[in-house]
Amino acid sequence: MTDETYFGLRFRPSGRDTHSVTVETLIPALEGLQRTARLVAMMDSDLEVGAHGRIDREIKKRFRLRWTPSSKGSLHQPVVLEGPDGNNFGFDSLRRVSSVTKWLMSAAAKGDDCEFERHAPKSAYWPHLLSSLGKTFGKGRGRCDLSIEEMEGTEIARGESVSKGLALLRKSLRGREESEPFILPAVTGYLGKIDLRKSEISLVVPGRERQLICGYSNKHETLIIDNRKDLIQIEGDIVANGEEVPQRIAEVSRIQAVNTEDIDMVEILPKNLEILNVKMPSVEVFLSEDKQVFHAEYEAFDICQVAYTRAEMLNILKSEMEILWMEYALEDDEKLSPCARVLKRKLKRSFREVVR
């Protein structure tokens, strides 16, 4: 454990000190802090938060929050941000992520929008970071007031101050955020009206009261008519607000039916691999609750990816399988953690290299 990656969560009860913290108090604070650090890690890796829609898997795997509860019980909960195998030494990016996370919490406590923007220059990240910080310091803490401290006890941020500071940040950052609209690559919904004369359709997006209107070309007309009762996806420039909710369709490049069929493993294998197990299961595919994001999961290989379109998902999964084979299946055992060695054995039992 190092001072740089340490976060001390201290709960100050307004009533009697029981030397214990309820689950309802502790879990939101830990989850919010973990998600904030992962968002900062994405910024540090120069990833676009809108391109994936969710926290990137590799960042999630690399940077994690470790909490070891006190054996006697305490209102002070020490946690540390760490790298693979519990090792947090030698990772410059890990230390940067930890430092920026603390700076953002400090800026939130002061309601300092300039300081917040300096450490989070990409406006697409602002609503996600504010939401995560709100979860950490928000209401529902029972009778406890939470503060985040350095290892030596110096206070970084405290719940009551952050709650007020976040309100100021949301108000001051909103104007700047709206001047730079957030563009989504696709939007999914149900057909409302079709105007064949104007070559226009209205799209009913789940969870929205207002329909989105856009034009279409002749090449899309047959698909639109054939899928009147099914989900369709429109690719192009979709203007969204800071919460990634589609507001209007600025440009249409493609209209297609939504395909949520599972993906056969052979579709995403590198060309130099073949399947040993004929009954190899497919990768499960499903849509998010709001129908805007594709999810793909394959538990055996710890695959969990998201994408806005099925084509994007296929490309992500292909890259994932290449990385898994190169970094795990072909790696020496002594360089792998116990969990990584288990994954290596699964891969070697499932595939083999061939010369094409």
User: DSSP state, 85?
Assistant: G
Give per-residue pLDDT as tens, 260-293.
999 999 999 988 899 987 677 899 999 988 888 8
pLDDT at site 105:
94
Distance CA 66, CA 82 (A): 7
Other C-beta atoms lying within 10 Å of the C-beta of residue 109: 24
Question: Between the CA of residue 97 and those of 139, 179, 304, what are the distances in Å?
Answer: 26, 28, 23
Say if strands 284-287 and 294-298 run parallel, antiparallel, or are unpaired: antiparallel
**So what CATH class is 182-257?**
mainly beta
Query: Look-up: residue for tokens 């509860």?
Result: 69
Contact 233, 253 (CB under 8 A): no
Residue 53: its pLDDT value, please? 43
Q: Residues 127, 132, 138, 142: what is their CA dihedral angle, to the nearest 10 degrees? A: 160
Name all contacts of 62-66 with Cβ < 8 Å and 24+ positions apart. Answer: 63/37, 63/38, 63/94, 63/97, 64/34, 65/7, 65/30, 65/33, 65/34, 65/37
Mean per-residue pLDDT over the chain, rounded: 83
d(C-alpha 273, C-alpha 203), whole Å: 42
Which residues, given as ranges, of the chain have pLDDT below 50? Answer: 1, 51-54, 140-141
Q: Report the SS3 class of residue 254.
A: strand
**pLDDT score at 179:** 53
User: Under 8 Å CB-to-CB from 349, ≥6 apart: which residues?
Assistant: 276, 277
pLDDT of residue 268: 93
For residue 108, give the amino acid letter.
A
Q: How far is the CA of 320 from the CAs of 28, 251, 265, 280, in angstroms?
A: 31, 31, 12, 17
The helix/strand/coil state of 257 is strand
State how far the Cα of 249 lies from the Cα of 234, in Å rounded to an integer.
9
DSSP 267-313: GTS-TTEEES-TTPPPBEEEE-TTS--EEEEEGGGTEEEEESSHHHH
pLDDT of residue 163: 81
Domain range summary for the chain, segments of one domain joined by +: 6-179, 182-257, 265-353
